[in-house]
Structure 1
């Protein structure tokens, strides 16, 4: 009959010593853990660490097409960053980036939250309508941008045709410096609403219905239930939604490039557009300043991520 740990306690009056796993078994478990971890490490190195390293290297050298071919770029240090920050176009691009990003994520979040609360009620066509709202998210970006370009066309666009029916004259949405940034921002908001709707709707499903029932018994109206229950309990989901929206919007290129190419007169040129145009959009690629602008965008996104982590820790400790 086997002598168990319980028998040892009954016999000696103290628990039996724990038996450590054999060294061979520990090594086997360690190698198993490393095997499961290896694909993630390789993925991060290949698709994140190496591109970031190459971008930094590009920004501190003078990479011309000839230097790419011959492999002998001149080391310039921080000269490319100084040139970018002192360029007259930098402040305009930074301002356009701030307006485009902040307005986009604010309205995407507000409209996505409103739709999520609306669909939370549940009604007969709720699932069908939610699926229809996902269409902008599923379409290729080139299709969406081309559609908006056609709709906002000055001569034969459907938006101007609609306005003419009410006696409003022609508006040059994409070719006027006063409306180009507004036009691309509206298109980007339309594209981002489905993402916010999906994430926030999922967050709403985790709020217990009993809280709303208790608030209803206490006489709380719909706005009070939203402001006192829904919005506070949705704060962690809202924070990550806004952070992801910020990171995505900072690097938007395709929508703006297809609709306005950053024009007219750089009226809709963001930092991402400036970087892309320097590298690929002029026919005379200047990769090093483009990489420097790209690294500035990475720093902005990184700072936003650090702020999010700090706020989450502060909220968790309070």
Structure 2
């Protein structure tokens, strides 16, 4: 006997109800994404191709200028410096945050008294508001009364103009950002280490693979998916760091710490050139997307090999 494959009206109605229920639950999330992510992105793109100034808020007029805003920000004398500073700031911050965070994650994987308390204390820099952290560090790095130079003076080192010298200001900002990013890296990497079975280390120890050999043969290969997430999120976050730099140096001295993010902010909210600020912000978004795509492709190719 052949079974008919025709869907009955009752079954069709049930399937439609199930689909409707799915979309009912998804609707709030989709609406949230459209309103708070989709609209700002589209609006920013539109502003970048318009002459959007303070006058626009009163008249509603924003003449179309095409790519003039992009040309203006790229040809600006500050763009090259901002691009180089962004690169140095990002590479230095990520290298320091990741290296120290991974070392601390491996350290805290070992069981010892007060392990949990110490890990909790390590999260404090991450929990403090950025503007508070920058204010504290600005006081600490002050040339005349900062605690850092006081300590250096004890060991016979002359006071360093951390935030007022074009030679060391960027390095000082990188150090502060490393301090802020260590807890995030440590927490995520520590979670990844917890998923690696201890039996693998015990079996490797029988073959003499301990210490660095165990890390290279077991820890690193199994931790790489987590490492990819940490690095991508770290780079995207670091590229848009704004408040720390503004709080410490305001992009100075002499543009020594200006980045694409701070320049985009100044164009929009200091010069009120919202179109150019939006254009520079879009360039920053494109750089972040390109890095994420390239890194994921390289990681995927290495896994296949």
Query: Does the pair score TM above 0.5?
Result: yes
What residue number does 1:75 align with?
64
What residue number does 2:150 align with?
161
User: Per-residue CA shift, 1:99-149, capped at 9, x if unaligned?
Assistant: 000110111011100000000011111101000100001111111111100
Which structure has the greater CA radius of gyration? 1
Give, in whole Å, the separation in 1 of the partners of 2:71 and 2:21: 48
Q: Which 5+ residue runs of structure 1 have no aligned equivalent?
A: 1-11
What residue number does 2:74 align with?
85
What residue number does 1:285 align with?
272
Deviation at 1:313, TM superposition (A): 4.3
Number of matched pairs: 303
Calculate the TM-score normalised by the size of structure 2: 0.95
What residue number does 1:304 align with?
291
Deviation at 1:305, TM superposition (A): 2.3
Deviation at 1:308, TM superposition (A): 3.8
307-316 or 20-29, which moves further after superposition?
307-316
User: Per-residue CA shift, 1:27-75, capped at 9, x if unaligned?
Assistant: 1000011012112211211111110111111110111111221011111
Aligned residue runs from structure 1 range 113-152, under 5 A: 113-152=102-141
What residue number does 1:175 align with?
164
Quick one: which of 5, 15, 21 aligns to 1:32?
21
| C-alpha distance 316-167 of structure 1, shift in aligned 2 (>3 A) | closer
Give, in whole Å, the separation in 2 of the partners of 1:167 and 1:317: 54
Q: Which 5+ residue runs of structure 2 have no aligned equivalent?
A: none
Aligned residue runs from structure 1 range 238-257, under 5 A: 238-257=227-246
Superposition RMSD in Å: 1.6
Calculate the TM-score normalised by the size of structure 1: 0.91
What residue number does 1:5 align with?
none
Instruction: Kindly indicate whether residue 98 of structure 2 is the aligned counterpart of residue 109 of structure 1.
Output: yes
Give, in whole Å, the separation in 2 of the partners of 1:161 and 1:18: 84
Quick one: which of 198, 223, 233 aligns to 1:209?
198
